[in-house]
Structure 1
Amino acid sequence: MRKVRLQTKILGLVLSLSLFLIFMLTAYFTYMEGKQIEEDRGRLALELSKTIASMPTIIDAFKSEDPPSVIQPIVEKIRRETGAEFIVVGNAQGIRYSHPLVSEIGKPMIGGDNERAIQKGESYVSEARGSLGLSMRGKSPIVNQNGDIIGIVSVGFLVEKVQKQIFKDLSKEVVVSLIALVISVVGSYLLARSIRKDTLGLEPYEIARLYKEKNAVLHSVKEGILAVDRDGVIRSMNQPAKKLLNIKESVRDLKVDDLFPSVYLYEVLDSGKPQIDKEMQWGHKKIIMNCTPILDGNRVSGAVVSFRDKTEIEQMVNTLSEVKMYSEDLRAQTHEFTNKLYVLSGLLQLGKHDEAIDMLQSETAELQSLNRIVFEQIKDTKVQAILLGKLGKASEKKVTFEIDSESYLETLPSHIKLSELILILGNIIDNAFDAVSDREKPLVNFFATDIGEDIIFEVSDNGRGIKSEHLTLIFERGFTSKDEEIPSGYGLSNTDYAVKELGGLIEVHSEEGNTIFTVYLPKRQGEEKND
Structure 2
Amino acid sequence: MENFESNRNKRQLTCPNVSFQFSLKLKMILLFSLLIIGIFIIFGLFLRSFISATMEDQIGKRALGVAKSVANTPEIREAFELENPARVIQQIVQPIQEATDAEFIVVGNEEGIRYSHPDPDRLGEKMVGGDNDRALNKGESYISKSTGSLGRSIRGKVPIYDNHNNVIGLVSVGFLNNDVQSIIQNQSKSLWFTLLGIVLLGIVGAIFISHYIKRLLSNMEPEEINHLLLQKEAILQSTHEGIIAVDHNGLITMMNTAAQKTLFDKQIQNAAYMGKPVKDLLPHSNIYDVLTYGERHYDKEMILGNDVVLVNRTPIYHERAITGAVSTFRSKTEVEHVTKELLQIKQYANAQRAQTHEFSNKLYIILGLLQLNQIQEAIDFIKKENNIQQEWSRFLLENVSDPTIHGLLQGKFNQANELGITMFIQPASQLTYPLTGSKKDALLTGLGNLLENAIEAVNVQNRSQREISIFFTDIGEDIVIEIDDSGPGMKGEGNIFEQGYSTKIGLHRGTGLVLTRLQLRKVGGEIMLEDGELGGACFIIIIPKEAENENE
Partner of 1:164: 182
Look up the match of 2:339. 318
1:212: Cα distance to partner?
3.7
Amino acid at match of 1:39: D
2:219 corresponds in structure 1 to 201
Aligned residue number for residue 302 of structure 1: 324
Aligned match of 1:523: 545
Q: After alignment, is 134-143 or 116-125 more displaced?
A: 116-125
Q: Is the 8 A contact 1:323 1:422 kept in 2?
A: no
Pair 469,236 (structure 1): closer, same or farther in 2 beyond 3 Å: same
Structure 2 residue corresponding to 1:46, chosen from 48, 51, 64: 64
The separation in 1 between residues aligned to 2:190 and 2:289, in whole angstroms, is 62
Task: Provide closer, same or farther for how the CA distance between residues 452 and 81 of structure 1 changes in structure 2, counting only shifts above 3 A.
Answer: same
1:289–1:306 Cα contact (<8 Å) kept: yes
Paired residue secondary structure (2:206): helix
Whose radius of gyration is greater, 1 or 2?
1
2:291 is matched with 269
Q: How much has 1:262 moved relative to structure 2?
A: 5.9
Out of 192, 201, 210, the position equivalent to 1:192 is 210
The letter of the residue matching 1:274 is: E
Give the counterpart letter for 1:320 in structure 2: E
SS at match of 2:210: helix
**Superposed CA RMSD:** 5.6
Q: Match of 2:197?
A: 179
Shift of 1:176: 3.0
Alignment of 1:81-160 (within 5 A): 81-160=99-178
Q: Distance in 2 between matches of 1:414 and 1:527?
A: 12
Task: Name the SS of the counterpart of 2:272 in structure 1.
Answer: coil
Q: 1:23 aligns with which of 21, 41, 44?
A: 41
Give the structure 2 partner of residue 225 of structure 1.
243
Residue in structure 2 matched with residue 360 of structure 1 by the alignment: none
The reply on whether 1:56 has 2:74 as its aligned counterpart is yes
What's the offset of the Cα at 1:84?
A: 0.8
Deviations 1:298-345 (A, max 9, x none): 221122223356x648844532325768999xxxxxxxxxxxxxxxxx
Go from structure 1 to structure 2 and tell me whether the alpha carbon gap of 1:2 and 1:71 turns closer, same or farther (over 3 Å shift): farther
What is the total number of aligned residue pairs between the two structures? 429
Deviations 1:340-392 (A, max 9, x none): xxxxxxxxxxxxxxxxxxxxxxxxxxxxxxxxxx9xx99x9xx589999x99x
Structure 2: gaps spanning 5 or more residues: 1-16, 350-396, 411-429, 452-471, 491-501, 505-510, 535-539
2:108/2:116 contact within 8 Å kept:
yes
* Contact persistence 1:454–1:522 (CA under 8 A): yes
In the TM superposition, 1:442-521 aligns within 5 A as 453=477, 469=486, 501=519, 503=525
Letter in 2 for 1:234: I
TM-score by length of 2: 0.59
- In structure 2, which of residues 298, 301, 314 is the aligned counterpart of residue 292 of structure 1? 314
CA drift of 1:155 comes to 0.9
How far residue 167 of structure 1 moved from its aligned partner, in angstroms, is 2.3
Please tell me whether residue 252 in structure 1 is matched to residue 274 in structure 2.
yes
Kindly indicate whether the alpha-carbon contact (under 8 Å) linking 1:256 and 1:262 is maintained by their aligned counterparts in 2: no
Q: In structure 1, how many angstroms separate the alpha carbons of the residues matched to 2:519 and 2:230?
A: 38
Q: Report how far residue 242 of structure 1 moved.
A: 5.0
- 1:163 CA displacement: 1.8
Query: 2:85 aligns to what?
Result: 67
1:433-463 deviation digits (Å, cap 9, x = unpaired): xxxxxxxxxxxxxxx9987645799xxxxxx
1:361 maps to none
Q: Letter of the aligned partner of 1:295 in structure 2?
A: Y
Quick one: distance in 2 between partners of 1:323 and 1:252? 43
- Aligned pairs (5 A) from 1:1-16: 5-16=23-34
C-alpha distance in 1 between matches for 2:438 and 2:285 = 38
After TM superposition, list the pairs within 5 Å mapping 1:378-393 onto structure 2: none
Partner amino acid, structure 2, of 1:57? E
TM-score, normalisation: structure 1: 0.61
Q: Hey, what's the Cα distance between the residues in 1 that align with 2:181 and 2:541? A: 110
In structure 2, relative to structure 1, the CA distance for the partners of 1:450 and 1:74 (3 Å cut) is same
Superposed CA offset, 1:376-431 (max 9, x none)? x99x9xx589999x99xxxxxxxxxxxxxxx9978754545689879979x99xxx
CA contact (8 A) 1:260 1:282 kept: no
Give structure 1 stretches of 5+ with no counterpart.
329-373, 392-406, 429-447, 458-465, 480-492, 512-517
2: CA distance, partners of 1:17 / 1:225 = 43
Measured in 1, the distance between the counterparts of 2:58 and 2:107 equals 22
